[in-house]
Every structure is written in structure tokens, then in C-alpha cells.
């Protein structure tokens, strides 16, 4: 399996690099290759002010339609994040730079949507297709994003454009296991008004065959993923009004409903009878006003999340958890000149959460932060920031950040940053009956990063060395006197490694090539026990290779993940083997007139029918396919 992966990767590099450094660029172009150049994954050369000194990857439309069902698959093949899910469609959580699921902050238009109960985000309960842009920021960002932003952040953004335009996008796919993914998006601008509406529907019987030959029925037939059906629906509405170029008002709203059945896994998946429902609704009102050299932004948000868990899918009784979040954020920026800018923010946040096991709890905080961005020269940018939070439950440490970027040449930038970050204990860790631990302390970390970014014409390479020292890490560990697991603070946890992003592209006449790759090497160890943290692979790599000729595009996706331990004591017997999964596909333009464009596509997932797992006893699907219609008008 590893050899096959190496061969595929080397051939792809040779294939792409040979064309990158081949003949001089020719003038002839076609519409489809132009489209691809606009929407490939990119790493920003000129970082936004919030991300000076850090590595950032943006995921565009072309990658979203290759993995439209959920955010898990999209990030798995297009970002440096390792994801663990409990079988296809099951609960899915992130391992960013080897950190735990609660150390990745997920933001919707700048507002944290991590669950107050678990501190995590289930990436299989988020629809990627209704977002306009997905940004993956590596490294700690607690100054800007608050609790949990230690490994990195994932931003889901809705973009409103006031320029006069009307854009519509309809996508529908159908494939193996009676799986269908569909979305519709419209973006309209009139000069004064901007409107976005999007909806998505996903469904699957999810009854794939377990191709692991070690597990069979009594009659010798292979097992199936019984009780794995899932369906979900999402709506997104955004509206903006421009009083003037300096005075704008925005409203964002999104809703989601998901209904999943959970398989029991091996060796008897048919025994599964669990069901889970997810509801969430988010609203954000934003006012942005500029005057003189000032820019002020006021955000007022209300978010609601709820889940219902049924031990028996046919029963009416369920356990539940729900939360409400109110957030007010006022930001004021002042530009002294093109070389010096300052900003300050004041945030009030109130979280109310309850479950059938935990009585209603409330947590509030007030935070103040300040940031200075200074350019002492045309090629050097420095940014420093500080945040102080007053939390109703904990004494939160002061967090600071300092970053710098130095342009060595027009093509080469050196960057570095150092920051302190934190995570406060969640409601589940504190209050869960019997095992909750009221003596927990907030996690705190210090981390540093140094890297370089090179970009010239059709080549972009970004590499970062990172080090995270995390104190008072919260881990769920077995208790000595029983089989119960209980959260507690451990001494020191260290995460260190290297993270690389590469993008190569070339157009030669009617031929267009594009290659993107993410590679991460991570050592994540508990210094107290000198063991590796579970579900944190040492090596993670994904790449996408696209080739377009006239009206046809062919692509290859590949994911490689090294062996991972699944427990704190690193027992090899329970570890998950290294995996390499390859998907291939093609898109064909069958109609184009003015700005109308119709494409038909096909994709084969796991083309080599590999057996692979992201969680013990929950195998992922073998080879499967889908076909899609993609219409823009």
C-alpha cells in the first residue's frame, strides 16, 4: 500500500513539475482553464493583518464541489488537519498539529461555534457547500479567537458583494449507497443591496460493505454498515445594505438539521440501533462604519445548538443537550498612516447550556484586546497583540502574540510568530455526573513558529516549523478503582513538527495543470508518561492534481496518514495502520453561453479498494462512485 502511494505521488510530482518548468507560456486559453485558475486552493502571499507570521490555506469552489457532502472530506483532502470519524457519516473531530479535538476553534463569520458542552465541533454536521470560502489558519490564535484556538482555526465565511451582478449555482450528485448531495446558491448585488441565499440537502443509506476480509457473517459473506443512514438539510440567508461606501449593514443567518443512525461497528454492525439528531441556528448582525481614519465594526450574534440522542431509534425517549450563546463584539481601528495601525476590541459573551444529565449552567466573559501593526520599512511588518479576559468560572491567563514578516525579495518572505493561548474546561468536563471534575484548571500553552513563503509566477511553497508547549492539558483517563473515565489535568504536552503547503500550476496552450499538496510531520507527546498522544499521526499528506484540456478536466486526490495510536499507553495491537486512499474524477463542459455553464462530472472514491480505518472497528467504504451535474448561470 505504501509503495503504491509513493509511486502515485512521485509520478504526480514528475508529471506536474515537468509541465511547470517546460516551455514558455502560450497565449491560447479556454474558459474552463481560466475558471480553474480562479478557484484552486491557495496560500496567501500577502497575509491579512490578523494572520501576519502564520500559515493560511484558503479552499475555493472547485474543491468544495469535489467533496460537497460534509466538511470532513473537504478538509481531509485539502488541509493540514487530521480528522477522526466513527465510520462514514459518524461523529468527526479534528486533530490540528496533533492537538485534541477541543483545541481547534471553528468560526462562522468570526463567531466561535464550538459546542459549550464538549468544546468540540462535529465536522460531519457542517455543510461545506453553502459557505463561500473556507480558511484554515495554522497555529494558536487565542488573542483573536478565544478559548480553544491552540492547534489552529477553521473559518466558514459568507461573502456579500454589492457590485451589480446575478450569480446562480446549482449542483446535484448521486452515487453508491443511494448517496445524494445537492446545493443551490444565489448571489445578487444591485449597488445598494447584496443578497445571498443557499440551501443544501444530503442523504445516504450509507450501507456500504465492510471489505475487511477478517470479518464475515456466519455464511461467509462480508458484513455491511447496517444502521448507518444519514440525512441533513441546511439553509443560509445573508443580506447587506450599503448606505455609502463607508457605512454598511449586514445580516447573516443559517440553519441546519441532521438526522443520523449510528452503526455498532465490528464485529456485529447489525446490532446498532442508535440515532442522533442535530439542530443549530445562527444569526449575526454586523454594522461597519468608517470615518476619518477610523473604522468601527459592531457584531451582535445569537447562536443555538441542540442534539437529541436515542439509544433505540424506534423509541420516543431521548437524551439531549442544548445551548444558547449571545455575543457582542465591538472593534475600533485607527490608521495613523500606511505604516502604523492600531485596533481594539471589546467582547461580551454569554453561554447557557444544559443536558438531561446536567442542570442549566451559565458562563459569561468579558474580553478586551488590543493590536498594533507597524511597518518600519517597506519590506518588514510587525504585529503585537494582547488579550485579557474576565471569565465567570475561571481565572483566564493574559494572552499575547507577536509576529513579523520580512520580505527578502519580491518572491521570498520569512515569517515568525510567538503566542500564548488557552482553553477553559467545558461543561461536560466539569459537571458530567459522577465523572465531572470541578478541580480542573484551564489549559495554557506557549508556542512559536518560524517559516518561509516563496511565490513566483506559477509556483508557491510555504513551510513552517512549529513548537507548542501545553501545560495542564485536560485528558480523559481511566480511574484506578473502576472502569470509569474521568478528565484531569496532566503535566506537560509537547507538539512539534513541520508543515508545508505547495501549489504548482502551468498553462500550455489548451492544457492546464494544477497541483496542490499539504504535508505535516508532527510529534505530539505527553511528557508525563513519555507516550504519543492518541489519534495524532506523525505524518499526514494530501494532494490534488488537476489536468484540463479544452472542455474536460481530470483530477486525482490522495490522502496518506501514518500509523496512529488509539490509547494513551501506545499499545501497538490497538493502533491503526497507515493508510493511503486515492480518488479520481473527471468533469466535462457540455454547454456554455455567455456566463451560463453546464458541467457533468464523475468521481470514483478509493479507486484501489483499500481497507482503512480512522477509528477502531469502524472501517470506511471500499471503492464507490458518484455522478454530478454542476450548472452556473
Instruction: Report pLDDT digits (tens) over 85-108.
Output: 998 999 999 999 999 999 999 999
Parent domain of 612:
2-632
The stretch 555-580 carries a mean pLDDT of 96
Interacting residues of 287 by C-beta distance below 8 A, sequence separation 6+: 248, 249, 250, 297, 298
pLDDT confidence band for 3 (50 / 70 / 90): very low
pLDDT confidence band for 5 (50 / 70 / 90): very low
DSSP string, 68-92: -S-HHHHHHTTSS-EEEESSTTS-E
The stretch 306-324 carries a mean pLDDT of 94
pLDDT at 50: 57
Handedness of CA 150, 133, 389, 425 (dihedral sign): negative
Neighbours of 31 (CB within 10 A): 12
pLDDT at 285: 98
- At residue 554, the 3 state secondary structure works out as strand
Compute the distance between CA of residue 624 and CA of residue 457 in angstroms, rounded to an integer: 37
The stretch 467-481 carries a mean pLDDT of 90
pLDDT at 70: 86
Peptide bond into 267 cis (omega under 30): yes
Compute the distance between CA of residue 565 and CA of residue 575 in angstroms, rounded to an integer: 4
Would you give the distance in Å from CA 289 to the centre of its chain?
Answer: 30
CB burial of 532-560 (b: ≥16 within 10 Å; e: otherwise) equals: bbbbbbbebbbbbbbbbeebebebbbbbb
Contact predicate 173/628, CB 8 Å: yes
Hey, what's the cell of 151? 492547534
DSSP string, 287-356: EEEEETTEEEEEEEEEEEEEEEEESSTT-S--EEEEEEEEEEEEEEEEESSSSEEEEEEEEEEEEEEEES
pLDDT at 43: 52
Would you give the distance in Å from CA 172 to the centre of its chain?
Answer: 23
408 pLDDT above the threshold of 90: yes
Compute the distance between CA of residue 546 and CA of residue 603 in angstroms, rounded to an integer: 13
Q: Which helix (H) or strand (E) holds 20?
A: helix 2-20
The stretch 556-583 carries a mean pLDDT of 96
In the block, residue with C-alpha cell 507548542: 468
The stretch 489-505 carries a mean pLDDT of 95
Would you give the distance in Å from CA 118 to the centre of its chain?
Answer: 17
Contact predicate 540/562, CB 8 Å: yes
pLDDT confidence band for 122 (50 / 70 / 90): very high
The stretch 11-29 carries a mean pLDDT of 38
pLDDT confidence band for 1 (50 / 70 / 90): very low
pLDDT at 478: 86
Interacting residues of 493 by C-beta distance below 8 A, sequence separation 6+: 469, 470, 473, 524, 525, 526, 527, 533
Handedness of CA 123, 138, 104, 523 (dihedral sign): positive
The CA-based dihedral angle spanning residues 440, 446, 452, 453, taken in that order and rounded to the nearest 10 degrees = 40
pLDDT at 282: 97
For the stretch 425-463, pLDDT in tens is 999 999 999 999 999 999 999 999 999 999 998 999 999
608 pLDDT above the threshold of 90: yes
In the block, residue with C-alpha cell 443555538: 304
Give me the CATH number covering residue 226. 2.40.170.20
For the stretch 48-64, pLDDT in tens is 445 788 899 999 888 88
Q: Domains in the chain: how many in total?
A: 1
For the stretch 237-255, pLDDT in tens is 999 999 999 999 999 999 9
259 pLDDT above the threshold of 80: yes
342 pLDDT above the threshold of 80: yes
Amino acid at each position: 500500500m505504501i509503495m503504491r502511494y509513493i509511486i502515485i505521488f512521485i509520478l504526480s510530482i514528475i508529471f506536474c513539475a515537468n509541465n511547470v518548468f517546460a516551455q514558455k507560456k502560450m497565449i491560447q486559453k479556454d474558459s474552463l482553464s481560466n475558471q480553474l485558475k480562479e478557484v484552486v486552493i491557495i496560500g496567501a502571499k500577502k497575509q491579512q493583518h490578523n494572520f501576519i507570521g502564520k500559515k493560511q490555506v484558503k479552499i475555493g469552489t472547485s474543491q468544495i464541489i469535489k467533496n460537497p457532502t460534509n466538511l470532513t472530506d473537504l478538509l481531509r483532502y485539502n488541509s493540514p488537519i487530521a480528522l477522526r470519524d466513527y465510520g462514514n457519516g459518524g461523529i468527526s473531530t479534528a486533530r490540528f498539529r496533533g492537538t485534541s479535538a477541543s483545541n481547534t476553534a471553528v468560526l462562522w463569520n468570526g463567531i466561535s461555534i464550538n459546542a459549550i458542552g464538549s468544546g468540540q465541533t462535529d465536522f460531519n454536521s457542517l455543510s461545506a457547500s453553502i459557505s463561500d470560502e473556507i480558511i484554515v489558519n495554522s497555529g494558536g490564535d487565542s488573542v483573536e479567537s478565544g478559548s480553544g484556538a491552540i492547534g489552529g482555526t477553521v473559518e466558514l465565511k459568507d461573502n456579500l458583494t454589492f457590485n451589480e451582478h446575478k450569480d446562480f449555482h446549482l449542483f446535484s450528485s448521486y452515487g453508491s449507497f443511494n448517496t445524494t448531495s445537492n446545493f443551490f446558491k444565489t448571489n445578487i448585488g444591485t449597488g445598494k443591496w447584496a443578497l445571498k441565499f443557499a440551501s443544501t440537502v444530503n442523504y445516504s443509506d450509507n450501507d456500504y460493505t465492510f471489505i475487511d476480509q477478517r470479518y464475515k457473517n456466519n455464511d461467509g459473506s462480508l458484513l455491511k454498515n447496517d444502521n448507518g443512514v444519514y440525512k441533513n438539510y441546511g439553509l443560509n440567508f445573508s443580506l447587506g445594505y450599503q448606505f455609502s461606501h463607508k457605512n454598511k449593514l449586514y445580516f447573516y443567518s443559517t440553519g441546519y438539521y441532521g438526522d443520523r443512525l449510528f452503526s455498532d461497528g465490528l464485529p456485529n454492525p447489525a446490532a446498532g440501533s442508535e440515532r442522533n439528531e442535530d439542530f443549530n441556528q445562527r444569526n449575526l448582525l454586523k454594522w461597519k462604519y468608517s470615518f476619518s481614519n477610523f473604522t468601527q465594526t459592531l457584531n451582535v450574534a445569537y447562536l443555538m445548538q441542540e442534539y437529541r440522542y436515542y439509544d433505540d431509534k424506534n423509541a420516543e425517549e431521548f437524551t439531549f443537550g442544548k445551548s444558547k450563546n449571545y455575543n457582542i463584539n465591538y472593534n475600533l481601528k485607527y490608521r495613523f498612516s500606511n505604516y502604523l495601525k492600531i485596533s481594539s476590541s471589546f467582547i461580551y459573551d454569554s453561554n447557557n447550556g444544559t443536558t438531561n444529565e446536567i442542570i442549566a449552567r451559565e458562563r459569561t466573559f468579558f474580553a478586551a484586546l488590543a493590536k498594533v501593526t507597524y511597518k518600519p520599512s517597506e519590506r518588514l511588518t510587525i504585529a503585537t497583540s494582547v488579550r485579557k479576559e474576565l471569565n465567570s468560572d475561571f481565572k483566564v491567563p493574559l494572552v499575547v502574540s507577536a509576529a513579523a514578516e520580512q520580505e527578502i525579495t519580491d518572491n521570498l518572505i520569512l515569517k515568525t510568530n510567538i503566542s500564548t493561548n488557552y482553553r477553559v474546561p467545558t461543561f461536560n468536563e466539569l459537571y458530567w455526573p459522577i465523572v465531572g471534575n470541578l478541580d480542573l484548571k484551564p489549559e495554557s500553552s506557549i508556542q512559536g513558529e518560524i517559516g518561509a513563503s516563496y511565490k513566483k509566477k506559477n509556483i508557491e511553497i510555504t513551510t513552517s516549523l512549529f513548537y507548542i508547549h501545553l501545560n495542564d492539558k485536560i485528558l480523559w483517563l481511566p480511574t484506578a478503582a473502576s472502569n470509569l473515565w474521568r478528565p484531569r489535568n496532566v503535566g506537560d504536552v509537547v507538539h512539534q513538527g513541520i508543515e508545508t503547503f505547495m501549489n504548482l500550476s502551468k498553462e500550455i496552450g489548451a492544457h492546464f495543470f494544477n497541483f496542490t499538496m499539504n504535508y505535516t510531520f508532527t510529534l505530539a507527546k505527553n511528557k508525563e508518561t513519555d507516550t504519543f498522544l492518541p489519534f495524532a499521526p506523525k505524518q499526514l499528506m494530501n494532494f490534488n492534481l488537476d489536468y484540463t484540456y479544452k472542455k474536460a478536466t481530470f483530477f486525482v486526490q490522495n490522502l496518506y496518514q501514518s500509523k496512529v495510536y488509539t490509547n494513551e499507553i501506545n499499545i501497538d495491537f490497538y493502533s491503526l495502520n497507515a493508510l493511503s486512499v486515492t480518488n479520481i474524477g473527471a468533469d466535462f463542459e457540455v454547454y456554455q453561453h455567455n456566463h451560463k455553464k453546464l458541467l457533468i462530472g464523475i468521481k470514483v472514491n478509493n479507486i484501489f479498494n483499500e481497507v482503512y480505518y480512522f477509528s477502531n472497528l469502524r472501517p470506511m467504504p471500499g471503492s464507490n462512485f458518484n455522478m454530478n451535474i454542476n450548472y452556473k448561470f
